[in-house]
Structure 1
Amino acid sequence: MATDPRWIDEHGNEIDEDHRGLVYDIRTLVDRRRALGIFGGIGATALLAACAGPDTSSTASATATDASTPSASATPSASASAAASGPVTEVPDETGGPYPGDGSNGVNVLDDSGIVRSDIRSSFGSSTTVAQGVPLTIALTVRDAATGSALVGAGVYLWHCDREGGYSLYSNGLANENYLRGVQETDATGTVRFTSIYPACYTGRWPHIHFEVYSDVANAVASGPIVKTSQIALPQEVNDLVYATSGYEQSVRNVAQVSLASDNVFGDDGGIHQIATMSGSVASGYTAALTIGV
């Protein structure tokens, strides 16, 4: 995995990561990882994977919307494992866009207590506003591109726009909101799951979700070196169904004016390595799953 070039000095050496403290709400997370002896190790976690229970962190009920729309589903990816599966394609590097909230363009939400969470629908801190929309679970599995091994204990920061196409912290009227942003640690299969809502399609961009991968959660909340910045593309068939529901009217117009091939991020290869596998329905909510190599 390549080190973020911002953290390489003029001699080609990686800059030390001293003095990067942790926010209070991940101290117990780090302590648990130390206790298990899996800080940076994959072998031990592979042994633990067989004993791990199902992940229930993102099973909270999501806000219901128009239940009359027919469903569209696809066969989800096979269950992930921590074992090496051979080389996998590295996901393309993409822009974090103008609204990252990671300190690279103004505001930094990563050092806020509360950012480490699985349900990202609501703001935290001074606001408790909940983003409305068709329920969406985002399951992102992170693997070492060279070996196919699951990256256990990596930190993933994920964010996207709301049903109206606005980004918390940046868009008009949303400067005091921080919903639809969160950080999680990958589990024994290299997977994080976020409970969210389906994002809008706004002018000039194909429907998408942003993410950054860090070596661990400690580096994520300290704005440490980024291992990978990329985006998830949402497939047209599900976009069409979701955008036919109440609240997404402007997305119908916007998505008709863009395609994967013309998108300024996914256009080079049509997003072939970034298109999520979808399952579910408008009535019950969707799951968007993607396995990436870094």
Structure 2
Amino acid sequence: MDSHDHGLAHDLTTLLNTSPNRRQLLRWLSAGGATALSVMACGGGSTTASSTTTSTSTTSGTTSGTSTGTSTGTGTGTSTSCAVIPEETAGPYPGDGSNSSTNGIANALLLSGIVRSDIRASIAGASGVAAGVPLTIKLQVVNTKSSCAVLSGYAVYLWHCNRDGLYSMYSAGVTGENYLRGVQETDSSGNVTFTTIFPGCYDGRIPHVHFEIYPSLAKANSASNKINTSQFTFPMATLNEAYQSTGYSASVTNLAKISYATDNVFSDGTSLQMVSVTGSAALGYVVTLTVGVSV
């Protein structure tokens, strides 16, 4: 009955498994609990390869980041970031077979050609192409249960709205399209890359990108197989710069009415979900993020 005398690692695990405390604890750890973080997230084990992450400021006020790692196979290599990314809602427009649109069950994961890096065009008979500021998304998936080892052979399904704030397969006017959705398999360093456009800001949400993690490409065909669902966002300076571009005028108005603090997803913190950015609206952006999962 008494659970108070099992040590720090046990207490941290218990807190993390208690939903209301989980993200608060992660933010405390990020703020200064380095020793506790090593016990909880990295297991205190030795690493088999090294990775470095650097950040610098750009003239536009965004941050740039570079994450590198090495690997000899699934679950090898390490990353300097080692905390589980918060679990978030997939929202009403996931296209992963878990709900319906006006055309019936919406499952982009079953479409021919959905495994792709460039997600700007529709596929499987649809012909639309999403216009907007070029954006390259680079994610690295790591295992917080195994000394932050990179995870190769996993699958990432990623989706987001177009520059008008509309979601393909669901929103009026684009229900027949399936652009801005795609699946990639993590390489030997746990990395995936997507070529897309900068998402718009629709009323009521801070701009964001959704993604789900699957244990393999073969299992990335239904939401029932996913092991993690989350979202990431962008620095405010990047948002303000991007939305000066043609086609994003509505985003300027919508962004002025929302903040990270009032957003229903990011109001409890963005430290694990804020991408690093290089580039510009004129040349296109490249964003990077390390995604920690517990497997």
**Which TM-score band applies after superposition, normalised by the shorter structure?**
0.7 to 0.9
> What runs of 5+ residues in structure 1 fail to find an aligned partner?
1-45, 48-69
Per-residue CA deviations over 1:257-284 (Å, capped at 9, x if unaligned) read: 1111111001112x11100000011121
Distance change >3 Å, CA 95–CA 137, structure 1 → 2: same
Deviation at residue 251 of structure 1 after TM alignment: 0.3
Alignment size in residue pairs: 227
Matched residue, 2:111: 112
Deviation at residue 74 of structure 1 after TM alignment: 2.5
Q: State the structure with bigger RCO (CA 8 A, min sep 6), 1 or 2.
A: 1
Distance of 2:123 and 2:244 partners within structure 1: 30
8 Å Cα contact 1:279-1:287 kept in structure 2: yes
8 Å Cα contact 2:87-2:228 kept in structure 1: yes
Matched residue, 1:78: 67
Q: Is 1:275 the counterpart of 2:274 in the alignment? A: yes
Q: How does 1:175-186 map to 2 (within 5 A)?
A: 175-186=175-186
Deviation at residue 140 of structure 1 after TM alignment: 0.8
Q: Percent identity?
A: 48
Per-residue CA deviations over 1:147-196 (Å, capped at 9, x if unaligned) read: 20001010100000000000000000111100000001001110100000
Matched residue, 2:133: 134
Distance of 1:250 and 1:87 partners within structure 2: 35
Matched residue, 2:262: 262
Q: TM-score, normalised by structure 1?
A: 0.74
CA RMSD of aligned residues (A): 1.9
Matched AA of 1:102: D
Q: Is 1:93 the counterpart of 2:87 in the alignment? A: yes
Matched residue, 2:220: 220
Matched AA of 1:119: D
Deviation at residue 288 of structure 1 after TM alignment: 1.1
SS at match of 1:239: helix
Deviation at residue 202 of structure 1 after TM alignment: 0.5
Matched AA of 2:97: G
SS at match of 2:228: strand
Matched residue, 2:237: 237
Deviation at residue 73 of structure 1 after TM alignment: 4.7
Matched residue, 2:195: 195
> What runs of 5+ residues in structure 2 fail to find an aligned partner?
1-47, 50-58, 72-76, 101-105
Distance change >3 Å, CA 86–CA 194, structure 1 → 2: closer
8 Å Cα contact 2:97-2:222 kept in structure 1: no
SS at match of 1:207: coil
Higher strand share: 2
Matched residue, 1:158: 158
Flag as ranges the 4+ runs of structure 1 deviating above 6 A: none
